[in-house]
């Protein structure tokens, strides 16, 4: 989603070059702050080793055994999915979404750069389809996102919108632009969109406030300012603060301090969204449990807004790679290109069960848990932090069959 996908036959060199390029360009910042996972390269052979026999591939669940997530979790919380315009016309994904999910998130299509790319130019075609699609299926419809430092056009922050070298816009004018944006986009749908991510990703890993153009221009108290504005413009939608890695203690502490301050000043904030871009190690279940306890104490609703589990080796440290590692790139960092081995599938299914067991324990504070994409084919994790890998972060395979993990997640609901 952050650039063109490399052809499937990419070489290791191309993939490494993509990482170096991404780092040189600053890379998508949402992951630079994700809790560090070990950067040591995974163990693997060298090119000269004899080829090992290929591992057995995992089988999907038999179609007759597939049950509905939304039905299984009905007593607990809604089960959501992030969609793209492709999903509205693809009959197979329409059927799957209708069967499995009762809450809808717009992945990219309500972001500023999609819906309002130029001053005065709004694109509502996909946004309208999105809201109607959810309503027709009696789903709760989610709004993502009003204030974020990514996927927002540069003109928004310029005094002279047409001049790339323009100094920053004034605080008052930025608030005017934001008011117009919220009124035109969110106001178009009113209570048809039940939740809005008002501010996304305002904190660094250590809990300090992230430097963004919003903060620079609106001031350090901008989260309060923006929530007050959203409250006045969107009385009928729930207002959410959304971020990743809130299960990580230092970051959560920073966020909680600001959110508590907002509440003590009487500023409306209805819920916290933990994105939930997880992997096989992070977070451990006690971190997730503690996060949910802390949110409950804060006295707001909770949503898991962008859940996925990255099963590939961590590729964030490979810019320091030596030549041998680069030669072995595919084997080390993209090891499941042919299929997900059944041994890994079993570990993944256990991981999903453990995560959902904690979520069910805290079901009384959770409004919805949303998967970040319909199937593995659509996941951003095939292209981040390295383009063109083959990842397996969701419950449905590329052909929309269910992974064995679906049964584990449904088992964790304890309702069957
Ligand atoms: C963040 C954003 C999402 C999406 C993901 C990557 O989590 O909130 O909208 O861009 O990054 O897919």
112 lines ligand 1 (CB under 6 A): no
Percent of the chain with pLDDT over 70: 86
Phi and psi angles of residue 59, each rounded to the nearest 5 degrees, phi first: -90, 145
Q: How much distance in Å is there from the Cα of 299 to the middle of ligand 1?
A: 25
Q: Tell me if 93 CB under 6 Å of ligand 1.
A: no
d(CA 200, ligand 1 centre) in Å: 9
Q: Which of 27, 30, 113, 304 to mutate to test the pocket of ligand 1 (most atoms within 8 A of CB)?
A: 30
- Please give the pLDDT value at position 399: 98
Local confidence band at 48 (pLDDT 50, 70, 90 cut-offs): low
17 pLDDT higher than 50 = no
Whether residue 245 has its Cβ less than 6 Å from ligand 1: no
Q: Which atom of ligand 1 is nearest to the CA of 372?
A: 12
pLDDT higher than threshold 80 for residue 13: no
Query: Is the distance from CB of 274 to CB of 247 less than 8 angstroms?
Result: yes
Whether 380 lines ligand 1, by a CB cut-off of 6 Å, is yes
Residue 244 in contact with ligand 1 by CB distance below 6 A:
yes
User: Which of ligand 1's atoms lies nearest the C-alpha of 244?
Assistant: 7
pLDDT digits (tens, 9 = 90+) for 174-219: 999 999 999 999 999 999 999 999 999 999 999 999 999 999 999 9
**Best mutation site among 306, 310, 378 for ligand 1, i.e. most ligand atoms within 8 A of its Cβ?**
306
Task: Decide which of 328 and 285 is more confident.
Answer: 285
Residue 123, pLDDT > 80, answer: yes
Cβ distance 363 to 78 under 8 Å?
no
Give residue 409's pLDDT: 98
Task: Take atom 1 of ligand 1 and give the residue whose Cα is closest.
Answer: 30
Three-state secondary structure along the chain? CCCCCCCCCCCHHHHHHHHHHHHHCCCCHHHHCCCCCCCCCCCCCCCCCCCCCCCCECCCCCHHHCCCHHHHCCCCCEEEEECCCHHHHCHHHHHHHHHHCCEEECCCCCCHHHHCCECCECCCHHHHHHHHHHHHCCCEEEEEEEECCCCCCHHHHECCCCCCCCCECCHHHHHHHHHHHHHHHHHHHHHHCCEEEEEECCECCCCCECCCHHHHHHCCCHHHHHHHHHHHHCCCCEEEEEECCCCCHHHHHHHHHHHHHHHHCCCCCCEEEECCEEECCCCCHHHHHHHHHHHHHHCCEEEEEEEEEECCCCCCCHHHCCHHHHHCHHHHHCCCCCCCEHHHHHHHHHHHHHHHHHHHHCHHHEEEEEECCCCHHHCHHHCCCCCCCCCCCCCECCCCCECHHHHHHHHHHCCC
- Provide the pLDDT for residue 386: 87
At residue 14, the pLDDT reads: 35
State the distance from the centre of ligand 1 to the C-alpha of 327, rounded, in angstroms: 31
- CA-nearest residue, atom 9 of ligand 1: 107
CB under 8 A, 24+ apart: contacts of 406-411: 406/61, 406/66, 406/67, 406/69, 407/61, 407/65, 407/67, 407/349, 408/349, 408/350, 408/352, 408/353, 408/356, 409/69, 409/72, 409/352, 409/353, 409/356, 410/67, 410/69, 410/72, 411/353
If you measure from the C-alpha of residue 83 to the centroid of ligand 1, how many angstroms do you get, rounded to a whole number?
A: 13
Query: In the structure, what pLDDT confidence band is assigned to residue 316 with cuts at 50, 70 and 90?
Result: confident
Catalytic residues, by residue number, are 201, 306
- Residues whose CB is less than 8 angstroms from the CB of residue 239 and which lie 6 or more positions away in sequence, other chains included: 195, 196, 198, 227, 230, 231, 268, 269, 270, 271
Start-to-end CA span in the chain (Å): 37
**CA-nearest residue, atom 3 of ligand 1:** 107
């Amino acid at each position: 989603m952050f650039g063109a996908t490399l052809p499937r036959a990419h070489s290791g060199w191309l993939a490494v070059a993509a990482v170096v390029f991404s780092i040189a360009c600053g890379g998508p910042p949402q992951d630079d702050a994700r809790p560090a996972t070990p950067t040591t390269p995974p163990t693997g052979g060298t090119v000269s080793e004899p080829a090992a026999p290929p591992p057995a591939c995992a089988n999907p669940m038999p179609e007759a055994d597939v049950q509905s997530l939304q039905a299984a979790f009905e007593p607990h919380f809604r089960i959501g999915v992030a969609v793209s315009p492709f999903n509205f016309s693809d009959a197979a994904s329409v059927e799957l979404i209708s069967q499995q999910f009762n809450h809808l998130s717009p992945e990219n299509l309500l972001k500023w750069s999609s819906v309002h790319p130029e001053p005065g130019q709004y694109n509502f075609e996909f946004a309208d389809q999105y809201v109607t699609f959810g309503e027709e299926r009696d789903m709760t419809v989610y709004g993502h996102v009003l204030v974020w430092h990514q996927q927002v056009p540069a003109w928004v922050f310029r005094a002279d919108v047409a001049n790339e070298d323009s100094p920053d816009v004034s605080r008052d004018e930025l608030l005017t632009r934001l008011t117009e944006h919220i009124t035109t986009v969110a106001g178009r749908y009113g209570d048809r969109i039940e939740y809005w991510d008002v501010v996304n990703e305002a904190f660094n890993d250590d809990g300090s406030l992230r430097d963004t153009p919003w903060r620079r221009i609106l001031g350090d108290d901008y989260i309060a300012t923006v929530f007050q504005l959203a409250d006045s413009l969107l009385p009928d939608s729930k207002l959410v603060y959304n971020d990743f890695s809130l299960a990580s203690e230092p970051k959560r502490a920073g966020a909680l301090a600001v959110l508590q301050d907002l509440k003590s000043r009487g500023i409306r904030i209805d819920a916290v969204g933990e994105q939930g871009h997880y992997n096989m190690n992070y977070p451990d279940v006690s971190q997730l449990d503690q996060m949910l306890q802390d949110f409950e104490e804060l006295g707001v609703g909770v949503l898991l807004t962008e859940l996925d589990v990255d099963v590939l080796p961590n590729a964030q440290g490979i810019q320091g790679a030596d030549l041998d590692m680069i030669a072995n790139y595919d084997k080390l960092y993209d090891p499941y290109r042919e299929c997900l081995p059944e041994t890994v599938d079993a570990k993944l299914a256990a991981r999903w069960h453990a995560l959902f067991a904690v979520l069910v324990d805290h079901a009384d504070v959770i409004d919805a848990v949303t998967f970040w994409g319909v199937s593995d084919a659509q996941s951003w994790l095939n292209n981040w932090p390295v383009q063109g890998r083959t990842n397996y972060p969701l419950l449905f395979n590329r052909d929309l069959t269910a992974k064995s993990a679906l049964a584990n997640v449904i088992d964790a609901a304890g309702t069957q």
